[in-house]
């Protein structure tokens, strides 16, 4: 139940924050689309990006929404791993640890 709650909450929070950011952008800029460097995402890894999120403005809010969406499966995998460790289910511990490792490596090298 907790793992399902993590998924629903993460996606809903991301949707709410991203929708708010898009509405704010539309209200301040109209329908014109600005492709400036202010909205560019560039970092060594996802975790490095999290440490240097834009601090203000619509770009910062949008970055938080996207980061929340990307962290949702990561947190879900971590919660699953903790659950299977508590249940002492070796088969699912190994499978979930493998998935969690793949997610971690992909977020470290993206």
- Residue bearing the bigger pLDDT, 41 or 88: 88
Can you give the pLDDT at residue 77? 94
Distances (CA, A) of 97 to 13, 51, 94, 105, 108: 26, 25, 5, 12, 16
pLDDT for 110: 61
- pLDDT for 11-66, tens place per residue? 999 999 989 988 888 887 777 776 666 666 677 778 787 777 766 677 778 888 88
Domain borders along the chain are 2-109
Give the mean model confidence (pLDDT) for residues 67-87.
92
Helix (H) or strand (E) segment spanning residue 109: helix 90-109
């Amino acid at each position: 139940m907790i793992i399902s709650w993590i998924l629903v909450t993460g996606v809903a929070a991301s949707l709410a924050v991203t929708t708010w950011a898009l509405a704010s952008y539309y209200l301040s800029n109209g329908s014109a689309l600005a492709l400036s460097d202010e909205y560019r995402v560039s970092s060594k890894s996802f975790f490095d990006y999290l440490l240097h999120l834009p601090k203000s403005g619509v770009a910062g809010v949008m970055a938080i929404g996207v980061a929340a969406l990307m962290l949702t499966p990561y947190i879900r995998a971590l919660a699953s791993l903790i659950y299977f460790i508590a249940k002492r289910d070796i088969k699912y511990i190994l499978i979930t640890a493998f998935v969690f490792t793949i997610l971690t490596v992909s977020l470290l090298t993206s």
